[in-house]
Structure formats: C-alpha cells, structure tokens
C-alpha cells in the first residue's frame, strides 16, 4: 500500500458554513467524515474516481468491495437504478433510515465512478436519516460514496473521537456530531434478482422488513452458491476486529479476563456493559463504542481476552451477533 502524506484534518461543526467548507473539500476530490444515524461515514463524491480511490487507499479496503452511495431522496434512486415494486414499498416505509438497497443500475451506465460500484451491474444506495448527513448531501447536490470511517476490517466508529483515532492526518475534514443513535450499519437488502435477499443484518431489524413485505427475506447463504453476483462482496468473515480475543456466549470470566455484559454482570466480573436492562436498542447504540473501550481497557490491563455475554438472537440482536461473530474470528496477520 502506498503511504498517504499526512494532511491537516479540519474539525468542522454541523452549521451551514461548516457544511459548505466540507463541500469545498469534496469538490476537490478530498475526503470528509460525517455523522449518520448508523455509524460515521467516510465520504467522497461518488462521481469522482480520485475521491473514491482515496477512500480505498485510506481505509486499506479491498478494491472488489464496492461502496454504499448516499443520496438525498427517492427521485435520486430512480435516476441511477431500476426500482422494483417491493423495493418501492420498502423505500416508502423506511427511507430516510438505516436501510440500504442493492438495485440493478440503469443502463447506459451513468456518471458514477466505476470504482464506487466495483463496476458491478448493481448499485447499493441509501438515504440517511441524520440531519447533518442529509444537509451535506443536499448542499453538495450530488451523491456521496461513504463506507464506515474505520480502517478496513476494524471496529466501525460511532463517536467522532473514534473517527479521529483512525483518520486524523489522513482526511481533509471531520464533521463532528453527537454519537450515532442507531450504532450499527444499515441493513442491506438486494433486489438484484428481483427477490428480496438479506445481504447484511443491520440497524433495521429484518422482522420489520418482512412484516412490511408480507414474506420472509431470502438469506444470502441461500443464493450464494448459484448466483455469485448477489453476494455483498464486503461480508468478510473477519471484520470489526478488536485487538483482544473475544469469547462469545459466556456466562462468566476468569480473573485475567474482562467481561462485556448484557444485563447483570456475573459475580466478580470486571468490564463494561452493553445494556444493564437487557435493552437491545441500547446495546446496539453502545455496541461499537463499548467494544472500542473494552479493547483499550484490555490493552491497558494486559488482559488478552474479553468474554461476551449471550445476546438474544432476535431484532437488533441478530445484527449485534453478526458483528460479534466476525469480531471474534482471528485475523490472519
């Protein structure tokens, strides 16, 4: 990987003057991190090959892993993509919000950077709910490519300070907002083959989508073997990785281990808690920040292992368990 030169990272507020400054950087093909309701995004103009190339370079992201394009409204989706009836229904119900749709692109291919879509025939799009993200897209007047603002494979940031730990000196600006309210990335549903397929569980629970559609979502594992193109190329086995080892579904920890709780902490356990009241929404909001903090704690205390309480596998718990499973997988290097 080529080394990025260290640049000055400007910290911006969320007022219009700051957003105009952010647009100035984006127009120069530079990177700006901004808050969304799910996680902080690392934004570049989606029509700028240079800007998008910088995202891949700064994140150390594999080039085959395309990015989500953030748009202002449904009309933008119609410009870039074919929207089947059921997708339309989901758009009406859940946009703006934490739902990304993978749709077939309109042909002839539009001005979008080929890097942003991995030159696939599909495009991943969403309309974020966060007022700053929306105001930024509106002011910029063109779609923004934005993956989560972490180094590829590491923990996604839901706090401005976590963005800075990874991105200070590498991006032109960070728009500093509050902590992200949902705390998990958007749920991704593909309509590439007309049938709705869940590619990534996320901030919008699948039960809610299924209720709206009146039928179950197919799972990507069900279609993987015969339709290669439908996979979310970025669903890497190891992801969201802390430095410590995670032991999942634990009811206790040893004296030289930390405990990440959900509900009452086991007797004598030391650590942090996702939600003392076993509230999945609260656990989702806290998830990446708490994982970051307990990893730091483990490092400072020279503990190698964090034991994690079982999380119920329903609603937002499905997305939390998905992240935990990937975070627990040992990295190759």
**Number of residues written out for the chain:** 333
Q: Binders of ligand TXA among 226-245, rule CB under 6 A?
A: 232-235
Q: Determine the residue with CB nearest Mg ion.
A: 148
Contact partner at residue 57 from ligand TXA, Mg ion, none, CB < 5 to 8 Å by partner kind? none
Contact partner at residue 206 from ligand TXA, Mg ion, none, CB < 5 to 8 Å by partner kind? none
Contact partner at residue 248 from ligand TXA, Mg ion, none, CB < 5 to 8 Å by partner kind? none
Contact partner at residue 124 from Mg ion, ligand TXA, none, CB < 5 to 8 Å by partner kind? ligand TXA
Beta strand segments in 127-229, E: 144-145, 173-175, 187-190, 197-200, 218-219
For the chain, how long is the longest CA-to-CA vector? 63
Q: How many residues bind ligand TXA (CB under 6 A)?
A: 27
Q: Does 123 interact with ligand TXA (rule: CB under 6 A)?
A: yes
Q: Which is nearer to Mg ion, 158 or 253 (CB)?
A: 158
Cα separation, 104 vs 152, in Å, equals 26
Give the tokens for residue 150: 């972490």
Provide the 3-class DSSP secondary structure of residue 11.
Answer: strand
Cα separation, 200 vs 233, in Å, equals 11
Contact partner at residue 285 from ligand TXA, Mg ion, none, CB < 5 to 8 Å by partner kind? none
- Bridge partners of 81, per DSSP, are 105
DSSP 202: -
Q: Binders of ligand TXA among 192-211, rule CB under 6 A?
A: 199-200
Cα separation, 187 vs 198, in Å, equals 8
Contact partner at residue 123 from Mg ion, ligand TXA, none, CB < 5 to 8 Å by partner kind? ligand TXA
DSSP 148: B
**Angle at the Cα of 104 (from 49 to 83), degrees rounded to 5?**
120
* Nearest in space to 110 (alpha carbons), one of 148, 82, 73, 134: 82
Give the tokens for residue 279: 């509230």
Beta strand segments in 176-225, E: 187-190, 197-200, 218-219
Is the distance from CB of 64 to CB of 233 less than 8 angstroms?
Answer: yes
Least CB distance from residue 52 to Mg ion, whole Å?
15
Q: Does 72 interact with ligand TXA (rule: CB under 6 A)?
A: no
Q: Does 310 interact with ligand TXA (rule: CB under 6 A)?
A: no
Question: Among 61-69, 161-169, 255-263, 284-292, which window interacts with ligand TXA (CB under 6 A)?
Answer: 61-69
Binding site for Mg ion (CB under 5 A): 148
Q: Binders of ligand TXA among 135-174, rule CB under 6 A?
A: 146-148
Q: Which is nearer to ligand TXA, 190 or 275 (CB)?
A: 190
Q: Does 65 interact with ligand TXA (rule: CB under 6 A)?
A: yes
Q: Which of 22, 31, 32, 39 binds ligand TXA (CB under 6 A)?
A: 39
Give residues in contact with ligand TXA (CB under 6 A): 36, 38-39, 41, 65-68, 100, 102, 117, 120, 122-124, 146-148, 185-186, 188, 199-200, 232-235
């Amino acid at each position: 990987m080529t080394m990025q030169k260290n640049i000055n990272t400007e910290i911006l507020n969320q007022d219009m003057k700051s957003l105009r400054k952010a647009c100035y950087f984006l127009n120069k093909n530079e990177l700006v991190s901004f808050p969304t309701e799910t996680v902080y995004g690392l934004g570049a103009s989606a029509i700028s090959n240079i800007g998008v190339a910088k995202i891949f370079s700064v994140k150390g992201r594999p080039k085959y892993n395309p990015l989500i394009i953030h748009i202002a409204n449904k009309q933008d989706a119609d410009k870039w993509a074919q929207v089947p009836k059921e997708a339309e229904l989901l758009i009406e119900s859940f946009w703006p919000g934490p739902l990304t749709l993978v749709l077939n692109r309109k042909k002839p291919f539009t001005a979008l950077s080929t890097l942003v879509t991995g030159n696939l025939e599909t495009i991943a799009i969403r309309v974020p709910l966060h007022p700053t993200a929306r105001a930024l897209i509106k002011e910029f007047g063109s779609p923004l490519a934005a993956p989560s603002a972490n180094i590829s494979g590491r923990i996604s940031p839901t706090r401005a300070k976590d963005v800075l730990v990874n991105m200070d000196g590498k991006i032109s600006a960070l728009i500093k907002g509050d902590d992200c309210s949902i705390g998990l990335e958007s749920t991704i549903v593909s309509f590439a083959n007309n049938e709705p397929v869940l590619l990534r569980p996320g901030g919008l629970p699948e039960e809610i989508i299924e209720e709206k559609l009146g039928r179950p979502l197919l799972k990507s594992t069900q279609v993987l073997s015969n339709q290669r193109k439908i996979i979310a190329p970025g669903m890497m086995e190891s992801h969201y990785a802390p430095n410590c080892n995670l032991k999942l579904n634990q009811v206790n920890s040893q004296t030289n281990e930390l405990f990440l709780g959900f509900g009452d902490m086991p007797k004598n356990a030391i650590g942090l808690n996702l939600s003392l009241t076993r509230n999945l929404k609260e656990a989702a909001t806290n998830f990446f920040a708490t994982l970051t903090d307990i990893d730091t704690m483990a490092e400072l205390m020279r503990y190698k292992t964090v034991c994690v309480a079982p999380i119920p596998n329903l609603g937002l718990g499905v997305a939390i368990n998905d992240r935990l499973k990937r975070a627990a997988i040992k990295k190759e290097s």
